[in-house]
Amino acid sequence: MSREYSRRRIASTMAAFVLGWTALAQAAFAATIYVGNQGSNSISVIDAATRRVVETIPLSTTNPHNLTLSADGKTLYVANVGSHNVLVLDLASRKEVASIPAGTKTHGVTVSPDGRFLYTANVGSNTVSVIELAGYRVVDTIEVGKKPMLIVFTPDGGRAYVSNGGSADVMVVDPVTRKVLTSIFAGKDVMGTVITPDGKEVWVSEGGENMVSVIDVASNKIAHEISVGADAHGLAVSPDGRLVAVTNRGENTLSLINAGSHLVMDTIPVGRRPDIVVFSPDGTELYVTSRDTGTVEVIDVAAKKVVASIAVGKDPHGITVGP
């Protein structure tokens, strides 16, 4: 074998390695961010890799608030506080396929783990609507506390937790009987609600207390209380369950909490009136809606700082990430 041939072979192998690594890296970081713009009644679609808005989808409904994706990432469900309904958006065609009336001021929307139902938190009627996805119809209405905000399920679907901002509690609902099993006092202005990937803890933010409380699922009791910034609001847990992020609307910061020790690790300046936050699928970035600047702020988790600001629609609120 000649030296020239060997060099060419090594160069070719290295080039293939680099191209393969680049393709893998791009695949790993490929994600799409969806943002609900309350003030402009639209959805901004952001390419997470380029950090650019690639499309703006106008909606027939008003004041899109919180939103979530189906498990396969093909359908977007949008809760609308202005039109009191859930909008179902097919993402392949960018078409609205259904508009489902729910309760007054539909605030939060969550898909059950089995993918059969949507649960909506209706802040104006103090109810949770149970929507059967097969027929896009409300099949039950559950009376809960005052000003229900958000709902999370345990991974097995055996329990649902509803945060009630007006009654300062979290209610535990049995999805089979659709009855409230118990009520857990949390704190004033309970809002952000997440469950850890292992299903052992439910975390809730309390804006009126400048605090985050951690509920032990086994006992349904508060196990930890963590002081954060003023008007704690949106919550997100990292995909690996090691970090929890909370936005502090009253001081334009985000608190990053170690989920194992339940201690605040860092406080990061971000936007103006930062609201809802979500982790990237690989956990390396955080995306935060900044309502007063009309932007999504990108935080590098390792560097603990804002690295990009993406202009979206007016008064952005809900945000979610998918393929």
Per-residue pLDDT tens for 131-157?
999 999 999 999 999 999 999 999 999
**How far is 106 from 79, CA to CA, in rounded Å?**
6
Strand intervals (E) in 2-74: 32-37, 42-47, 52-58, 64-69
Percent over 70 (pLDDT), the chain = 91
Which pLDDT does position 323 carry in this prediction?
A: 87
Whether residues 67 and 19 share a domain: the answer is no
**How far is 228 from 244, CA to CA, in rounded Å?**
12
Region 11-37 average pLDDT: 57
Judge whether 216 lies within some domain: no
pTM for this predicted structure: 0.90
Whether residues 79 and 126 share a domain: the answer is yes
**How far is 89 from 74, CA to CA, in rounded Å?**
9
Judge whether 52 lies within some domain: no
Which pLDDT does position 127 carry in this prediction?
A: 98
Residue 9 has pLDDT above 70, yes or no: no
pLDDT grade for 88, boundaries at 50, 70 and 90 = very high
What is the side-by-side strand order in the sheet with 190-195? Answer: 190-195, 201-206, 211-216, 221-227
C-alpha closest to that of 89 among 70, 107, 106: 70
pLDDT grade for 30, boundaries at 50, 70 and 90 = confident
Region 114-131 average pLDDT: 98
Burial 252-281 (b: 16+ CB within 10 A, else e): bbbbbbebeebebeeebebbebbbbbbbbb
Percent over 90 (pLDDT), the chain = 90
Judge whether 117 lies within some domain: yes
Residue 89 belongs to domain spanning: 61-143
**How far is 154 from 194, CA to CA, in rounded Å?**
10
3-state SS, residue 252: coil
Strand partners, 278: 287
Whether residues 71 and 132 share a domain: the answer is yes
Last residue of a domain, one of 93, 119, 143: 143
Which pLDDT does position 29 carry in this prediction?
A: 56
CATH code assigned at 99: 2.40.10.480
**How far is 241 from 128, CA to CA, in rounded Å?**
27
Q: What's the total number of domains in the chain?
A: 2
Whether residues 65 and 23 share a domain: the answer is no
The pLDDT tens digits of the residues spanning 246-277 come to 999 999 999 999 999 999 999 999 999 999 99
Whether residues 25 and 72 share a domain: the answer is no
Which pLDDT does position 17 carry in this prediction?
A: 38
Average pLDDT over the chain reads: 92
Residue 305 has pLDDT above 90, yes or no: yes
3-state SS, residue 105: coil
